Chains A and B, each alone.
Chain A
Amino acid sequence: MKEIYLGVDVGSVSTNIVAMDSNKNIVDTLYIRTKGKPIEALKMAFMQIKDRLQRDIEVLGVGTTGSGRHLAAIMLGADIVKNEITAHGVAALNIVPDVKTIIEIGGQDSKIILLRDGIVYDFAMNTVCAAGTGSFLDRQAERLGIPIEEFGTLALKSKSPVRIAGRCAVFAESDMIHKQQLGHNQEDIINGLCEAMARNYLNNLGKGKEIKPPVIFQGGVAANIGIKRAFEKILGCNIIVPKYANVMGAIGACLLAKDEVANTGKTKFLGLDIADSSFNVKSFECERCPNMCEVVEFYRDKKLVARWGDKCGSWGNIQVTQDNEKLA
Chain B
Amino acid sequence: MPIKVGIPRALLFYEYFRLWISFFENLGAEVVVSEKTNKEIIDNGVKSTVDEACLPVKIFHGHVLNLKDKVDYIFIPRLTSVNKYEYICPKFCGLPEMIKYSLKDVQNIIDTNIDFRKSKKNLNKTIIEIGRYITRDVNEIKKAFKNALEQHNEYHSLMKKGLLPIDILENNYIEQLNEEVKVVLLGHPYNIYDSYSSMNIIKKLRGYKLSVITCDALNRNVINQNAETLDKKMFWSFGRKILGTALYAMEDNEVCGIIYLSSFGCGLDSVIADIVERRIRRSSNKPFTLLTIDEHTGEAGIDTRIEAFVDMIRWREKNENNLSTHRKFIYPN
A binds B: yes
Q: Which chain A residues have a beta carbon within 8 Å of chain B's beta carbons?
A: 67, 82-86, 117-125, 127-128, 207-209, 289-294, 311
Choice from A67, A117, A207, A290 contacting B40 with Cβ under 8 Å: A290
Q: Is the CB of A127 within 8 A of B38?
A: no
Decide yes or no: A119 and B300 within 8 Å by CB, A86-B311, A127-B292 being known contacts.
no
B286-315 CB contact bits vs A (8 Å, 1 = yes)? Answer: 011110101011001101110111011001
Q: Is the CB of A121 within 8 A of B312?
A: yes
**Residue B97 is within 8 A (CB to CB) of chain A in the complex:** no
Chain A residues within 8 Å of B38, by CB = 289-292
Chain A residues within 8 Å of B319, by CB = 117-119
B274-291 CB contact bits vs A (8 Å, 1 = yes)? Answer: 000110011001011110
Choice from B39, B285, B309, B312 contacting A290 with Cβ under 8 Å: B39
Q: Is the CB of B282 within 8 A of A208?
A: yes
Interchain Cβ contacts under 8 Å between A and B, 8 examples: A83-B305, A83-B311, A85-B308, A118-B319, A120-B315, A123-B312, A128-B292, A292-B39
Q: Is the CB of B294 within 8 A of A83?
A: no
User: In the assembly, what is the distance between CA of A86 and CA of B311, in Å?
Assistant: 7
Decide yes or no: A120 and B312 within 8 Å by CB, A208-B278, A292-B40 being known contacts.
yes
Q: Is the CB of A67 within 8 A of B300?
A: yes
Chain B residues within 8 Å of A128, by CB = 264, 292, 294, 296, 301
User: In the assembly, what is the distance between CA of A127 and CA of B266, in Å?
Assistant: 14
User: In the assembly, what is the distance between CA of A290 and CA of B37, in Å?
Assistant: 9
Chain A residues within 8 Å of B40, by CB = 290-292
Choice from A85, A117, A122, A127 contacting B290 with Cβ under 8 Å: A127
Decide yes or no: A125 and B41 within 8 Å by CB, A119-B316, A120-B311 being known contacts.
no
**B142 to nearest A CB, angstroms?**
39
Chain B residues within 8 Å of A120, by CB = 308, 311-312, 315
User: In the assembly, what is the distance between CA of A121 and CA of B281, in Å?
Assistant: 12
User: In the assembly, what is the distance between CA of A237 and CA of B138, in Å?
Assistant: 74
**B170 to nearest A CB, angstroms?**
14
User: In the assembly, what is the distance between CA of A101 and CA of B40, in Å?
Assistant: 44
Chain B residues within 8 Å of A207, by CB = 277
User: In the assembly, what is the distance between CA of A127 and CA of B292, in Å?
Assistant: 6
**Nearest chain-A residue to B303 (Cβ)?**
A83
Q: Which chain B residues have a beta carbon within 8 Å of chain A's beta carbons?
A: 35, 38-41, 196, 200, 264, 277-278, 281-282, 285, 287-290, 292, 294, 296-297, 300-301, 303-305, 307-309, 311-312, 315-316, 319
Chain B residues within 8 Å of A292, by CB = 38-40
Chain A residues within 8 Å of B282, by CB = 208
Q: Is the CB of A125 within 8 A of B305?
A: yes
Chain B residues within 8 Å of A291, by CB = 38-40, 196
**B291 to nearest A CB, angstroms?**
8
Chain B residues within 8 Å of A124, by CB = 289-290
Decide yes or no: A290 and B41 within 8 Å by CB, A83-B311, A85-B304, A85-B311 being known contacts.
yes
Q: Is the CB of A122 within 8 A of B287?
A: yes
**B286 to nearest A CB, angstroms?**
9
In the complex, given contacts A83-B307, A127-B290, what are 20 additional A-B residue pairs having Cβ atoms less than 8 angstroms apart?
A: A67-B300, A67-B304, A82-B311, A84-B304, A85-B304, A85-B312, A86-B307, A117-B319, A120-B315, A121-B287, A122-B287, A123-B309, A128-B264, A128-B294, A128-B301, A208-B277, A209-B281, A291-B38, A291-B196, A293-B39
User: In the assembly, what is the distance between CA of A245 and CA of B41, in Å?
Assistant: 45
User: In the assembly, what is the distance between CA of A207 and CA of B281, in Å?
Assistant: 9
User: In the assembly, what is the distance between CA of A86 and CA of B316, in Å?
Assistant: 12
Chain A residues within 8 Å of B311, by CB = 82-83, 85-86, 120
Chain B residues within 8 Å of A122, by CB = 287-288, 312
**Nearest chain-A residue to B296 (Cβ)?**
A128
Chain A residues within 8 Å of B304, by CB = 67, 83-85, 125
Chain B residues within 8 Å of A86, by CB = 307-308, 311-312
User: In the assembly, what is the distance between CA of A123 and CA of B259, in Å?
Assistant: 12
Instruction: Give the one of B35, B281, B296, B315 with max A CB within 10 A.
Output: B315
Chain A residues within 8 Å of B316, by CB = 119, 121
Q: Is the CB of B290 within 8 A of A290?
A: no
Instruction: Give the one of A83, A121, A209, A294 with max B CB within 10 A.
Output: A83
Chain A residues within 8 Å of B290, by CB = 124, 127
Closest 5 A-B residue pairs measured CB to CB?
A: A85-B308, A208-B281, A290-B40, A290-B38, A83-B307
Decide yes or no: A83 and B278 within 8 Å by CB, A119-B315, A289-B38, A290-B41 being known contacts.
no
User: In the assembly, what is the distance between CA of A120 and CA of B39, in Å?
Assistant: 37
Chain A residues within 8 Å of B296, by CB = 128
Q: Is the CB of B277 within 8 A of A123?
A: no
Chain B residues within 8 Å of A118, by CB = 319
Instruction: Give the one of B277, B311, B319 with max A CB within 10 A.
Output: B311
User: In the assembly, what is the distance between CA of A144 and CA of B264, in Å?
Assistant: 33
**Nearest chain-A residue to B278 (Cβ)?**
A208
User: In the assembly, what is the distance between CA of A128 and CA of B308, in Å?
Assistant: 17
User: In the assembly, what is the distance between CA of A84 and CA of B287, in Å?
Assistant: 17
Chain B residues within 8 Å of A294, by CB = 297
Chain A residues within 8 Å of B200, by CB = 311
**B280 to nearest A CB, angstroms?**
8
Chain B residues within 8 Å of A209, by CB = 281
User: In the assembly, what is the distance between CA of A125 and CA of B35, in Å?
Assistant: 34
User: In the assembly, what is the distance between CA of A85 and CA of B305, in Å?
Assistant: 8
Q: Is the CB of B281 within 8 A of A83?
A: no
Chain A residues within 8 Å of B264, by CB = 127-128
**A295 to nearest B CB, angstroms?**
13
User: In the assembly, what is the distance between CA of A316 and CA of B101, in Å?
Assistant: 42
User: In the assembly, what is the distance between CA of A196 and CA of B172, in Å?
Assistant: 51
**Nearest chain-A residue to B312 (Cβ)?**
A120
Instruction: Give the one of B39, B292, B304 with max A CB within 10 A.
Output: B304
Chain B residues within 8 Å of A83, by CB = 303-305, 307-308, 311
